[in-house]
Amino acid sequence: MHFGKARIIFPIIISAILLMAPLRDVSKKGKDNHPELLLQLRNSKADTHRVHIYDKLSRHYLNSAGKLKSHADSALYFANKMFYLSQALKYQRGQDDAILLKGDLFIKNNELKSAISLLSTLRDSTRIRFAITLANYYLAKQNKTKADTDSSLAFLQDADKNAKTLSAEKWQNEALHARAIFEFKIGNINAGKRRFKELIDRIDRPGSEEIQASLWQELAKLISSRDNSGITKLYCYQQMAALYKQSGSEAKEIEALKSIADINLVHGRLALAESQLLLVLRRYKAIGYQNIHFVYDLLAVTYRYKGEYSKAIFYGIKTIEGMEATHDTTRAATFYSRLANMYRELGEHEKSLEWYRKVVRKKLLADDSNPYTIRDAGFLARELIKLKREKEALAFMLAYQTNNRPLGIYAEASMTASMAYCYRALHQNRQADRYYTKLITISSQLQNNNEIYTDVYNEIGQYFISKNEYRKAALYLKKALNASEGINSLSETKELYMVLYKADSAAGNYISAMQYLLRHKALNDSIFSIAKSRQIEELQVQYETAQRKKDIEILHNKNEQANDLKNIMLAAAALLLVIIGLLYNRYLIKQRSNRVLEANQKELDRKNHFLQTLNAEQNKLLEEKEWLITEVHHRVKNNLQIVTSLLNTQTAYLKDDAAILAVKDSLRRMQAMSLIHQKLYMDQNTSTISMKEYVNELVCNLQDSFSTGNRITFEQNIEALYLDVASVIPLGLIINEGIVNAIKYAFLNVEMGGVRIDLHRDGAEHILLRISDNGVGLPAGLDIMQDNSLGLDLMQGLTKQLNGVFKIESDHGVHITVRFNLVN
């Protein structure tokens, strides 16, 4: 093979200068080690070792040939030197590699005619190798046309034809391998699978297990996780595991088993994935595998989707610890994101916000991670909104949108959904409507096998609920609920059930609404409990304690530098021993008294330890008591709400107006009691209620219930009183009955009216409640002792329960007075 010499004068001069010049410090070059190669070249003999040095130098300049023309010339120069020396040595492999280097240079410089002309001059294995290189070039082109695909196929057929002519199994397999990849690249998935299987079958012989396994792995990476036709990704990994087991490669076998568990996780087979991952974990530990945090990560995801959050957070924290121990932070942002999502789903907004901030600081906007980075930024904004920091959330998203361009439809959908949510939270409806309109248009392009699909349809559903378009809301929410298997976690499903309950209730679909409510409650009770919450808190404390321990160890290591000073001090202490010997006599005199003091001190220490133990146990019992009281109020509130929902549903089937009225009165009484337990559950104080806040919320609920508008005004004069549950429940029901009676009967023949509620101390030991209206008053001749009114009977009975005095008067309206003892 003859190479032209017209373009090699300049690189000869450059190379001569480099060979004669003193070499600079190679450590400053990083990966650029060509000065070392030039030194080796200067000291080498004209043998195959020099051929290999020419090869490395040519490849070095070839990799940077697109930057400087001189680099391309240098690459060509060293390829020529390699060829001529190999020819002189009759070293065929060197000649072939030099020819291929020149072909690669033609392709790099986009000199395709020269490359194709070179191919026509080649024979045997060199032609096969270069034909495959040309095929891959056309196949890898961006925005490739049909002509590019046809060219790629033509070169592959040329390689296959020459491989068969050569009758060499190795090159026939190489050609078949390249053709299999080609089929995948142009979308012929089944054809690609068949050719890979044919290739694997052709090399199926004893001793080739690892080669077969690597081909199965390559095929697995080309197949979609959700492709269930023919050869699947799961089948490929199963074949890999069997082959690595057969070859004795235990670490690779375990890696294949981990991939199998991952596939089962993707398809929602959570119990199977869990058992497989625990087995992988045990086997990795047995062989001392270092990067075990990747298994912890998959276990965290598995338990999150199972709703076992204490285990999920345990393994999430183990993942972070393992990552920090190995200093492998390549997937740090993903691990932070998973922990943030778990805390978000548990409602721990401050903790979730802390981890989302780490995600946003860490993650780069690469093509494959862009949608999920934007998704995490959106969740960070949502957590700020839940913490009543709406303006901060919008400012964050506006800045983030300015600095980060969405790549692809999913990233754009996630960004749009977050911006819409922020504007809706701030009640900037014009801007919110604009983003939601865009989001609805984008949603039709999303597939239901992605978490962002669920986010988007859920967001649109909640938007239509806010606009009272409940049927549209339910349509989008059901799509979010019916995402592909393995997409929605139990927590996400639970929240979708609650939103669907609200949508169907408002739309009048009461039976469907109750079914969603019961499903929500069942999932909520399975995910959240006192024990799980405490376990999660303990895990976080353990993690933070471990972090502090690491900081202490670092400080301790720094203190070791003071060992020299310590040695000097020890020497000084030895000198002091001489002085101490002189004082020994006095020491003997005081020894007896010191023993007595020491004994007394030990007794005091023992008593102090005992008191500390008692105090710790008392604090623990108090904490458990608070947890239990909170849970009781939570359960009572939930049960009252369920009964309220059932009564609401029942009214839809009642025809008798009197029965409907009675049910609605009962609903209001239950809501008055439910409000008490809700405030006890939500406030830190679990024993007393602020009457000022309670009466205000009760009046607002009754206004909404009767839709009074501005027809009736309510004046409240409530002293800042805090009463216990035993007093608040009967008092709240009395206030409820008094206000309901005023709304229903006091203003029948008048357009406007007013109701005044007074609640204050009456002396040191009594409380006075007075409910007055300026309505029509009581009917003439009404005897409240003989009247058969449930409301009056209820108020009188509740007053007796308070050990108080009940009085009702009619004087330009009705005036109800209740005076009872203040129980401290």
Q: Which two tokens stand for residue 700?
A: 């607002």
At 52, phi and psi to the nearest 5?
-65, -35
Tens-digit pLDDT profile for residues 605-659? 776 777 777 777 777 666 655 666 666 656 665 666 677 776 767 676 677 777 7
369 pLDDT more than 70? no
Give bridge partners of residue 688 from the DSSP assignment.
724
12 pLDDT more than 50? no
329 pLDDT more than 60? yes
Instruction: Specify the pLDDT at position 615.
Output: 73
Name the band, by pLDDT with cuts 50, 70 and 90, for residue 590.
confident
Tell me the average pLDDT across 513-532.
Answer: 66
Instruction: Render 120-134 in DSSP notation, one character per residue.
Output: HH--HHHHHHHHHHH
279 pLDDT more than 90? yes
How many percent of the chain have pLDDT more than 70? 80
Q: In what order do the strands lie in the sheet with 712-718?
A: 712-718, 753-761, 766-773, 814-821, 805-810
Question: CA 153, CA 132: separation in Å to the nearest integer?
Answer: 10
Q: Say whether 224 sits in a helix, a strand or coil.
A: coil
Instruction: Specify the pLDDT at position 295.
Output: 93
Tens-digit pLDDT profile for residues 126-174? 888 888 888 888 888 888 888 888 888 888 888 888 888 877 788 888 8
| Rounded (10°) CA dihedral 195, 201, 202, 203 | 120
What's the whole-number average pLDDT of the chain? 80
Instruction: Render 649-697 in DSSP notation, one character per residue.
Output: HHHTT---HHHHHHHHHHHHHHHHHHHHHHHHHHSS-SSEEEHHHHHHH
**Residue 186: half-sphere exposure toward Cβ, Cα within 13 Å:** 22
Instruction: Specify the pLDDT at position 23.
Output: 34
Candidates 659, 663, 729; CA nearest to 698 is 729
Candidates 375, 356, 478; CA nearest to 421 is 375
Higher local confidence (pLDDT), 605 or 761 = 761
Tens-digit pLDDT profile for residues 704-750? 777 777 788 889 999 988 888 788 888 888 998 888 888 888 887 77
Candidates 728, 644, 641; CA nearest to 687 is 728
Instruction: Specify the pLDDT at position 22.
Output: 36
299 pLDDT more than 80? yes
Instruction: Specify the pLDDT at position 360.
Output: 84
Candidates 803, 799, 802, 793; CA nearest to 817 is 799
Q: How many Å separate Cα 791 from the centre of its chain?
A: 53
Question: CA 213, CA 238: separation in Å to the nearest integer?
Answer: 10
Instruction: Specify the pLDDT at position 244.
Output: 94
Question: CA 741, CA 778: separation in Å to the nearest integer?
Answer: 11
How many percent of the chain have pLDDT more than 90? 21
522 pLDDT more than 70? yes
Candidates 204, 158, 150; CA nearest to 182 is 150
Dihedral sign (CA 489, 495, 501, 506): negative
Q: How many residues does the chain have?
A: 824
Question: CA 510, CA 516: separation in Å to the nearest integer?
Answer: 10
At 119, phi and psi to the nearest 5?
-60, -40
Instruction: Specify the pLDDT at position 65.
Output: 58
Tens-digit pLDDT profile for residues 386-424? 999 999 999 999 998 888 888 888 889 989 999 999 999
What pTM, to 2 d.p., does this model score? 0.57
Tell me the average pLDDT across 501-509.
Answer: 79
What DSSP element (H or E) covers 491?
helix 490-507
Tell me the average pLDDT across 369-377.
Answer: 81
Q: Say whether 178 sits in a helix, a strand or coil.
A: helix
Q: Measured in Å, how far apart are the chain's first and last C-alpha atoms?
A: 108
Tens-digit pLDDT profile for residues 219-263? 999 998 878 889 999 999 999 999 999 999 999 999 999 999 999
692 pLDDT more than 60? yes
Question: CA 403, CA 422: separation in Å to the nearest integer?
Answer: 18
Is residue 727 within 8 A of residue 690, CB to CB? The reply is no
Instruction: Specify the pLDDT at position 477.
Output: 83
Q: Which two tokens stand for residue 185?
A: 């690249």
